[in-house]
Amino acid sequence: MRTPSGTGHQGPGKRLADASQPPWKTDARWKRIKTRHGRAIKFIQEYCRPGKGVGHGKTLKLAKFQKEFLEAALAGDVDAAVLQTPRGNGKSSLGGALACWALFDDDDTGSPQVPIVATTISQAIKSCYGVAVSMVNREPHMLNRALLYSGMGTTRIAVPYNEGECFPISNDTDGLQGLDPSLALVDEIGFQPVESWDSVRMASGKRERSTIIGVGTPGYDHDNALFRLRQLVHEGAELPRFVFIEHSAPEGCAVDDRKAWRVANPALGVFLRETALETDLALARGMEGPFRIFRLGQWYEGVDSWLGSDGRKTWGALTSPWDFLEGGQTWVGVDIGLKRDSSAVVAVQRREDGRLHAACRLWVPAQDRPVDTTDIMAYLRDLANRYDVQAISFDPRFFDVPAKYLEDEGLPMVEVPQSIERMTPAIGDLYELITNGQITHDGDEAFATHVLNAVPRFNERGFTLAKGKSRGRIDACIALALAIERAQRPTDPKEILIAWR
C-alpha cells in the first residue's frame, strides 16, 4: 500500500507530509456552502479520483442520480438511507468517495468514525474501502494528511488533524455493536443479514448526528436487510428519518426491453455501456434470473436453488389453482420449528388428470413468542375431519409428544426422521415431479419462497436439502417432500403409526 513516504506500512510515530489545515477547511469558497450534501458533492468532484473505469485518474464526475441520492441521504433530519441499483451503476465508486468525504471533511460532531461494513473484512477491502484507499493515494491533499495502516487487524485510514478514522469491518453483530459512527457504509446490503443492519443502526445515535448508508443490488432471496427495508417502504410504514431510493426495471417487463434497461440503470449512457448488458443477456441462454437480479435490479428468487439456476420460473410454471375435494384422499406433511424457525403443514390431493396439488399453511414465531403447537394440532384435526387423510408424515424431533396425542385420537401419524437415508429418495422424487410438471399449487408467495430458498446438500446417494446452507426458511419445502413421499407409495395400514421406526 502506498504511503506518503512510499516506504510501506506506517507506524504511529510517522510524521505527516503536511500538517496544515486542508483547503476545504480554510478556503472562502467552502465557507459559502451551507448544506451537508453540497459539501459532499463538491469534495467528491474536486478531490476523489477513481483508479479504474470511465474517467479513471480524473476527478469523479457524479451523475445526476448520484447527486440526488446524496442530497436526500445527507439531509439534516435523515438517520439512514439506502440506494438500490443494479450492478455497474457506480455503487463502489460512490461509496468510496463518500467515505473519503466523511473522513476528511464531515467532522462537525468531532473525530469522524467511518466504518465500511461487508460480509468479511476482505470483501470490504476489495470494494468500498479499497476504492477509498485508492482515492486517498491519488490525491495529495488527502494522502499527505493521512496515515494508512495495512497490518492484520489494524487496517484503517487515520486522519490526525481531526482524529478521524475509516476502516473495514465484517458484519459480525458483536463487533458492530461497539461502533460509534459519524457515517457508516453498509456495502452490498442485499446480501447482509437483517441483524447486521440492525446492529449498525443500534450502534449509532451516540452523536448529535450519525448517518447509516446502505448500498447494494437485490440478493438471491428475501432473507436480507435490503429486502426487509424495501418491504417496509412498500407497505407504507412510517419512516420519517429514513430514505430509500430504488432503481429497478418494471415488474413483468421483458428481459430484452431496452426502455426497462434504462429505467433500471441510470448510469446507462453516462458511464455504463449498453453493450455490456447485451453480452450478459446473450450469455444467459434463457436463464433470466441472474440477469433480472444483477442487471435489472429486480427481486427474483431461485437463482441458486435446488431447482436450478432459474428455479422461480420452474416453480412458477406449476401454478394452477384448484380446490381440494371434500372427503377426497389427502396426504399431509408436517415440519416443525419452534423458537426461530417457522412451522409448515402441506396437504396434497390428486387432481383428475393425475397431478398432485399442494396447499401450504405456515406459522411464523414472533420475536418473543414461539409457535404454539396446539394451533398446528387443531389444524391437523380440521384436515382429518374434512378430508380422507391417508397419512400425516412428521419429523419427531419437535413434534413427538403432540403426535402421540393425535395418534391416540385416531389420526394416521407417520414418523419420518429426517435422516439422509430417509430424505434423499424423498427429495429426489420431489425434484423429478416438479421438473416434470407433475405437481401444481395455487401460487402462494410464501410457499414459493420456502421452496426456492432450499439449497442441495449432496451425498453418495443423491442430495437432501440443507437448512443450514439455505438462504432462508425451507420448512414448507420439507413438509411438501414428506406429503408427496406418502402420496407416491401405496398405503399399507400396517405402516401407519409404526412407519420408518
3-state helix, strand and coil shares in percent for the chain, rounded to the nearest 5: 40, 20, 45
DSSP label of 323:
P
The per-residue pLDDT for range 105-147, each reduced to its tens digit, is 998 888 999 999 998 898 889 889 999 999 999 999 999 999 9
Q: What is the CA radius of gyration of the chain?
A: 27
Beta bridge partners of 464: 457
CA distance 302 to 282: 20
- For the cut 80, the answer to whether the pLDDT of residue 500 exceeds it is no
DSSP label of 224:
S
pLDDT for the residue numbered 339: 57
Mean pLDDT of the 242-262 span: 96
pLDDT level of residue 62 (50, 70, 90 thresholds): very high
- For the cut 80, the answer to whether the pLDDT of residue 37 exceeds it is yes
**The residue type at 319:** T
- For the cut 80, the answer to whether the pLDDT of residue 16 exceeds it is no
**The residue type at 63:** A
Question: Which cell numbers hold the place of 316?
Answer: 412458477
What count of residues does the chain have? Answer: 501
DSSP label of 375:
H
- For the cut 60, the answer to whether the pLDDT of residue 11 exceeds it is no
- For the cut 70, the answer to whether the pLDDT of residue 496 exceeds it is no
pLDDT for the residue numbered 14: 57
SS3 183: strand
DSSP label of 239:
-
pLDDT level of residue 286 (50, 70, 90 thresholds): low
pLDDT for the residue numbered 490: 59
Q: Which residue has the higher pLDDT, 219 or 49?
A: 49
pLDDT level of residue 210 (50, 70, 90 thresholds): very high
Beta bridge partners of 203: none
CA distance 261 to 500: 53
466, 383 contact by CB (below 8 A): no
CA distance 482 to 333: 5
In sequence order, what are the residues at sequence separation of 6 or more whose Cβ sits closer than 8 angstroms to the Cβ of residue 237? Answer: none
Output the 3-class SS for 10-58: CCCCCCCCCCCCCHHHHCHHHHCCCCHHHHHHHHHHHHCCCCCCCCCCC
Edge-to-edge strands, sheet with 439-441: 413-415, 388-394, 329-335, 343-350, 356-363, 439-441
**The residue type at 69:** F
pLDDT for the residue numbered 93: 95
pLDDT for the residue numbered 203: 84
pLDDT for the residue numbered 275: 95
* Structural domains of the chain in order of their starting residue, each with its CATH number: 23-246 (3.40.50.300), 329-487 (3.30.420.240)
pTM: 0.69
SS3 417: coil
CA distance 481 to 89: 41
pLDDT level of residue 7 (50, 70, 90 thresholds): very low
In sequence order, what are the residues at sequence separation of 6 or more whose Cβ sits closer than 8 angstroms to the Cβ of residue 38? Answer: none
Closest CA to 446 of 270, 280, 221, 253: 221
pLDDT level of residue 8 (50, 70, 90 thresholds): very low
The per-residue pLDDT for range 290-303, each reduced to its tens digit, is 899 999 999 987 66
pLDDT for the residue numbered 421: 86
**The residue type at 382:** D
Percent of the chain with pLDDT over 70: 91
- For the cut 70, the answer to whether the pLDDT of residue 497 exceeds it is no
pLDDT level of residue 304 (50, 70, 90 thresholds): low
SS3 433: helix
CA distance 99 to 95: 6
